[in-house]
Amino acid sequence: MAIVFKKTSVLTDTIMHYCPGCGHGIVHRLVAEALEELNLQDKAVGVAPVGCAVFAYRYFNVDMQEAAHGRAPAVATGIKRVLGPESCVFTYQGDGDLASIGAAEIVHAAHRGEKITVIFINNAIYGMTGGQMAPTTLVGQRTTTSPYGRDMEHCGSPIRMSEMLATIDGSAFIERVALNSTANIQRAKKAIRKAFETQMAGKGFSMVEVLSTCPTNWGKSAVESMDWLESSMIPYYPLGVKKEV
């Protein structure tokens, strides 16, 4: 019998600590597979964030650094400048990390055309700290710090990072994808590959925003969460390529 699907060796055998049905595991696999397929494992250095993916360095079977909250693009900049164009440097960041506390770092990494790849997980909430409102939380969405639902008058509307970063000259490839269907998961994988290829070709900054779920803090089952992603998140965060040079 031929293998149709088996776990890539660019993921370690460590059991992931994520809650049942959390999208992080899916994205970890896609990133690891992309690195394997592009033969980049021994050139890769990953930067883990603060957030649920804080332990990403346990799961990616590549050299890793753990950054302070929001600072992953700056850390990745330091690494890339030292290791040079042969290296493949990526960050893995959540929406609190990237769109809130790390807003300056991500904007300026893109602005410099930093030749790194950013994997941005948008699940519209702070997961690790217990479900607080993120800049990406949808209007009306209830979180532990927006118990009456996000009020646009009070705290603004959800931020669309991909569209914003696409306006910056230094960004070379930006795409938003989602995990809600087999086809979309395949598209996500393709986008992540494309982002790594963009980096290795020296074209500039690349980012893939992945719409993902947080069943635990959304108060939904894993299955309901995927359905909510589809019905509520995708209409506000349209999928597709936002920038390609």
Restricting to residues 109-128, which ones interact with other proteins according to CB under 8 A? 111
State the minimum distance, in angstroms, from the CB of residue 103 to other proteins: 10
Q: Does 186 interact with other proteins (rule: CB under 8 A)?
A: yes
Give residue for tokens 């929001």: 70
Short-list 77, 41, 81, 37, CA closest to 60:
41
Restricting to residues 34-93, which ones interact with other proteins according to CB under 8 A? 41-45, 47, 54-55, 57, 61-68, 71, 74-83, 87
Restricting to residues 134-163, which ones interact with other proteins according to CB under 8 A? none
- Comparing CB distances to other proteins, the nearer of 48 and 138 is 48
Residue type, 171: S
DSSP state of 55: G
Restricting to residues 191-230, which ones interact with other proteins according to CB under 8 A? 215, 221-223, 226
Short-list 127, 108, 106, 126, CA closest to 118:
106
Q: Quote the tokens at residue 135.
A: 């800049």
Q: Helix or strand or coil: residue 67?
A: coil
- Comparing CB distances to other proteins, the nearer of 153 and 182 is 182
Q: Does 11 interact with other proteins (rule: CB under 8 A)?
A: yes
Give residue for tokens 């506390």: 101
List b or e across 17-48, with b for residues whose CB sees 16 or more CB atoms inside 10 angstroms.
ebbebbbbbbbbbbbbbbbbebebbebbbbbb
Q: Which stretches of the chain bind other proteins, using CB under 8 A?
A: 1-7, 9, 11, 15-16, 18-26, 29, 41-45, 47, 54-55, 57, 61-68, 71, 74-83, 87, 104-105, 107-108, 111, 179, 181-182, 185-186, 215, 221-223, 226
